[in-house]
Amino acid sequence: MNFGNTTNIGPVILFGFIIFIAMSKFITVFIRFNITVDGI
């Protein structure tokens, strides 16, 4: 484990954060869609 190389950790955290936001929005839309379908 090389903890001295922290130059590449920034983009990785940023990329993971973007994926986390995209997934959370997708899950929210998916839950709303299911509620709408069940409500019909």
DSSP 9-38: HHHHHHHHHHHHHHHHHHHHHHHHHHHHHH
Query: pLDDT grade, residue 3 (50/70/90)?
Result: low
Task: Report the pLDDT value the prediction gives residue 12, as an integer from 0 to 100.
Answer: 87
The span from the CA of 34 to the CA of 40, in Å, is 10
**What's the mean pLDDT in 20-27?**
95
Q: Tell me the pTM.
A: 0.53
How far apart CA 10 and CA 3 sit, in angstroms, is 13
Per-residue confidence band for 40, with pLDDT thresholds at 50, 70 and 90: low
Q: Return the CA Rg of the chain.
A: 17
